Amino acid sequence: MRIVLLGAPGSGKGTQAKRLMAERNIPQISTGDMLRQAAAAGTNLGLRAKATIDAGNLVPDKVVLAIIAERLAHPDAEAGFILDGFPRTTQQALDLEDLLEEMHTPLDAAVLLDVDFDILLKRLTGRRTCSKTGKLLNIYFSPQEEIDECLEAGGELIQRDDDNEETISNRLDVYHQRTEPLIDFYRERGKLLFVDADGPIEDVFERLTEALA
């Protein structure tokens, strides 16, 4: 299965991609995660990308395309992949189409995770990672026991540098202007699947697997 997960920041792409990866045994490929890892490792690419990420803007198309081309060439992507956070512009979608054509591995579907704007804001402003366990939590939505579990283990609730209100508002604008046109792009190609991504993670996952069946 080769799919793209489309959706605004906070729509749950990363969370659902991880679940799908565990169930289908195919890799989740997240350009955001790879860029953050490069930034944390202090590579040239990472350091250049960090200021852009922290401002909520998009890293140049050529940079992310190179990352994706390299990653898709890994043997574990032969069985399929879940692209999370790529493509984000029409140019990236066209580049991906060319790349997959060269590899003779066309995309099966682009799945839009659709979430109300108010919920997106709470998901983004409330998002935290436990410093001890790495678990993704949300101060508005996670059960109190899960938050206590982190704190009692001596963990702290860490907020992503680009999850502050100013950057969030820019990321949502950038999504609206640059990424939303991809909904029509994939609809025109007959690849678009729509999933209502409001509600508990489990329910969304069930709807996602039904859409992919």
19 a catalytic residue: no
Which of 19, 171 has the CB closer to ligand AMP?
171
171 catalytic? Reply is: yes
Q: Which of residues 153-182 bind ligand AMP (CB under 6 A)?
A: 162, 171
3-state helix, strand, coil in the chain (%, to 5): 55, 15, 30
Burial class (CB in 10 A: 0-12, 13-18, 19+), 92: buried
Residue 132: φ, ψ to 5°: -90, -50
Strand order from edge to edge, sheet including 81-84: 28-30, 81-84, 2-6, 109-114, 192-196
* 88 near ligand AMP, judged by CB under 6 A: yes
Closer residue to ligand AMP, CB minimum distance, 153 or 177: 177
DSSP string, 100-123: HHHTT----EEEEEE--HHHHHHH
Question: Contact between 53 and ligand AMP (CB under 6 A)?
Answer: yes
64 belongs to the binding site for ligand AMP (CB under 6 A) = yes
CA 122 distance to own-chain centroid: 17
Catalytic-labelled residue, pool 19, 123, 127, 207 = 127
Q: What is the 3-class SS of 117-159, one letter each residue?
A: HHHHHHHHHCEEEECCCCCEEECCCCCHHHHHHHHHCCCCEEC
Contact 208, 110 (CB under 8 A): no
* Nearer residue to ligand AMP within complex by CB, 136 or 145: 136
Closest-approach residue to ligand AMP (CB): 32
- Comparing CB distances to ligand AMP, the nearer of 89 and 142 is 89
User: Which tokens belong to 64?
Assistant: 């992310």
Is 127 noted as a catalytic residue in this protein?
yes
Contact 99, 77 (CB under 8 A): no
Q: Figure out which of the listed residues 31, 129, 138, 142 binds ligand AMP, where binding follows CB under 6 A.
A: 31
Site for ligand AMP contains 12 (CB under 6 A): no
User: Which residue in 18, 160, 178, 191 is the catalytic one?
Assistant: 160
Rule CB under 6 A: say whether 82 interacts with ligand AMP: no
For ligand AMP, which residue of 17, 20, 38, 58 counts as binding (CB under 6 A)?
Answer: 58
Which positions touch ligand AMP (CB under 6 A)? 9, 31-32, 35, 52-53, 56-59, 64, 85-88, 92, 162, 171
The residues assigned a catalytic role are 13, 88, 127, 160, 171
